[in-house]
Amino acid sequence: MQPLSVDDIRKIIALSDLPDEHLQWILDHSEYSTYEDGTQLKKTGDEADVLIMILEGKVSFYFDHSGRLVYYFYYANDDLTGGVGGLFPYSRMKVYPGCSFAVGHLRCLKLHKTHFPELEHLNPDLIQRLTGYMTERAKLVATMKSQHEKVSALGQLAAGIAHELNNPVAAIHRFASELNKRLTRNYELTKNLLACHLTPDSIQRIHARVEEIERTPAQPIKRTAVQRMQDEDELSDWLEDNGLAEREIAETLADAGFSVDDLEDIRTRVGQEALNAVLPWLENLLSSHKILQEMGEASSRTSHLVDSIKSHVQMDRSQALQPTNIHEDIENTLLLTGFKLREKNIEVAKKFCQNLPPVPAYISELNQVWTNLIDNAVFALGPNGKLTIETSCDPQHVTVSILDTGTGIPPENLSRIFDPFFTTKKVGEGAGIGLDIVNRVMKLHKGAITVTSKPGRTEFVVTLPVAQQ
């Protein structure tokens, strides 16, 4: 092909108004390159060393998140990106954080960074223009990273919800299956019961005794496993002596609070012949009743989880300033991150002050603060660590302290932890957005956040006003 001319590179939007001699200088100091569609220009970790000026085609850039490439932006010869990309003058980028690919047939010029000082001396206005494009790209990257962090946080929240809902839902399914078996078995047991020609009065007396046992206040000291085994063994021996060698009956009756004296009373009322039909029927009835109670508890837990989720994400509520109960918000956050706490067997100590006043807040945003701080603390803690959450208040402020016994934050990093994109986590474990979000939410609420850290003790202190203008 014919050599490029000044008129050719004048078509690059960012360079369109430059004098001919400046365009010629760029042409003389740049390398002309062509790439076919899909060709990789740079990969993660490559040195960032050239300003790319596009004559034809487009370049797409993908950030590397734990080896997974995520599309972030493109640049082409259009009004939005000006036809320039890669490394800009005054950029602090040393290596590429992702991969770039040619889209379509790509023709471009590449100006090495060693020529940037001379270019600035030649045309300072162009450097300012390129800085403007760099600033816009940085804003776009920040927006995309923030969205990626929110999606990642949403994924973690969804995983937490799935973990928390799995247990009660699985329990309900298991209980429903067992209850179906019990109800089917009830037909046969009832037939055996009727064959004994029991009077309604006998059945009513057994029912009355069951209700009496259920109404008896629980013992002040809970039975140990050994005591429960002893009670079951005692009932099992009595049942075996009376022709009913079924351990399940002994376990159910002992759990319900029946004693040998109660069984003797039932035998006296119904007779020895009917006893072998009455006790299996009674065991099935008591077990069915217990299953229904456990299903109720599981469904209540599910309902509580759903209420916590709605409160945490502020479904069906305005996004304006509203009074909120900080304790309830923190409890909901702990509930939704419960699976992470259980995985590491983390002890949670709560020292909540009495009469904590409601705090005016953008509640969904403030919940991000508790989520990020608690999640970071859990990440920093090893197995069997301790997380302490303490609240206090005065007439003007509410203070929340979140303290963990993790490894701590190195002193050289303390001044940077609230900076956007700064993170000490490994690639893929965090994008450095969480504490930046926390800091911005604090400013939104006219509050403050401070941190102190040493090995074994890291404490974030959040202070919020109890009144807003």
One digit per residue, the tens of pLDDT, for the chain of length 469 reads 568 899 999 999 999 999 999 999 999 999 999 999 999 999 988 999 999 999 999 999 988 766 778 888 899 999 889 999 999 998 888 888 889 999 999 999 999 999 999 999 999 999 999 999 998 888 887 777 767 666 666 666 677 677 777 777 888 888 888 888 888 888 888 888 888 877 788 788 878 877 777 776 544 446 667 777 887 888 888 888 888 877 888 888 888 888 888 888 888 888 888 888 888 888 888 888 888 888 887 787 777 677 666 655 554 455 678 888 999 889 988 887 887 888 899 999 999 998 889 999 888 788 888 988 998 898 889 899 999 999 998 888 999 999 999 888 888 877 777 765 555 554 444 444 568 778 888 888 899 999 998 888 999 999 999 876 6
Q: pLDDT value at position 55?
A: 94
- 292 and 367 part of one domain: no
Report the alpha-carbon distance of residue 250 to residue 236 in Å, rounded. 5
Q: Which tokens hold the place of 395? A: 């007439």
- 439 and 357 part of one domain: yes
- 323 and 290 part of one domain: no
58, 85 in Cβ contact below 8 A? no
- Residue 428 falls inside a structural domain: yes
DSSP string, 381-437: --TT-EEEEEEEE-SSEEEEEEEE-SS---HHHHTTTTSTT---SPTTT--S-HHHH
- Of 380, 396, 376, the C-alpha closest to 438 is 376
End of a domain among 95, 122, 149?
Answer: 122
- Residue 345 falls inside a structural domain: yes
- The residue type found at 339 is F
Backbone torsions φ then ψ of 405, nearest 5 degrees: -105, 35
Residues 6+ positions from 196 with CB-CB distance below 8 Å: 270, 273, 274, 277, 278
Q: In CATH, what number is assigned to the domain containing residue 442?
A: 3.30.565.10
Q: How many CB atoms lie within 10 A of CB 169?
A: 16
- Of 41, 17, 195, 161, the C-alpha closest to 107 is 41
Residue 151 to residues 154, 166, 421, 442, Cα–Cα distance (Å): 5, 22, 16, 21
- 358 and 323 part of one domain: yes
Q: pLDDT value at position 218?
A: 47
428: left (phi over 0), alpha (psi -120 to 50) or beta: left
Q: In CATH, what number is assigned to the domain containing residue 39?
A: 2.60.120.10
- Residue 356 falls inside a structural domain: yes
- 47 and 162 part of one domain: no
End of a domain among 306, 332, 363?
Answer: 306
Report the alpha-carbon distance of residue 413 to residue 405 in Å, rounded. 18
- Residue 359 falls inside a structural domain: yes
Structural domain for 284, as ranges: 158-306
Number of domains in the chain: 3
- 453 and 411 part of one domain: yes
- 324 and 434 part of one domain: yes
Q: pLDDT value at position 229?
A: 83
